[in-house]
Structure 1
């Protein structure tokens, strides 16, 4: 399962949002074998615009992920900081390719 999460964050809360995001990503990668990649970037010209590449082993791994305490802490802790969220489902063009 592959998707992009495109977010716009309230500029006054960007630093706090980043702390939540970093903790959530690091914990997910460390504790969840089904979370293959969570890679977040911010746009250079618009630092409040964040894109996260999400790769899960399968849909079940994603469903487990969104029920974890660390994801729920992130989601609930940042809900007032997120001005917009767009989730884009993707299909891998080269499924055998692994991220090093």
Structure 2
């Protein structure tokens, strides 16, 4: 559990312009997969959309620590994502969380 305690956990609550939702989702998926592939400190990304309002997106982000997050937001792929979606996002709320537990099935 000591490793989990230093992890940085954040929820990003995003309201996207519904007319640009497909473009936003494509940019988000590219950024997420690139970050997880290239950055050892990016541990988890889950992006979910509200069933009743698909343009309301919540992202669960887990980083190895705060330093990994700070490195992440300086990467070219993250900066490209922010530039690409800046006119698609109507609102953004970032909520830092404390991890109190996790249960994950082992792969395979």
Q: Distance in 2 between matches of 1:16 and 1:5?
A: 18
Q: Following TM superposition, by how much is the alpha carbon of 1:98 offset from its aligned partner in structure 2, in angstroms?
A: 6.4
Report the TM-score when normalising by structure 2.
0.87
Is 1:14 the counterpart of 2:21? The answer is yes
Q: Distance in 1 between matches of 2:104 and 2:70?
A: 22
Match of 1:83 among 87, 90, 94: 90
Is 1:33 the counterpart of 2:54? The answer is no
Report the TM-score when normalising by structure 1.
0.94
Q: Distance in 2 between matches of 1:50 and 1:61?
A: 23
Q: Distance in 1 between matches of 2:104 and 2:59?
A: 15
Corresponding pairs, count: 98
2:68 equivalent in structure 1: 61
2:30 equivalent in structure 1: 23
Which runs of 5 or more structure 1 residues have no equivalent in the other structure?
A: none
Q: Distance in 1 between matches of 2:13 and 2:81?
A: 16
Q: Distance in 2 between matches of 1:85 and 1:99?
A: 28
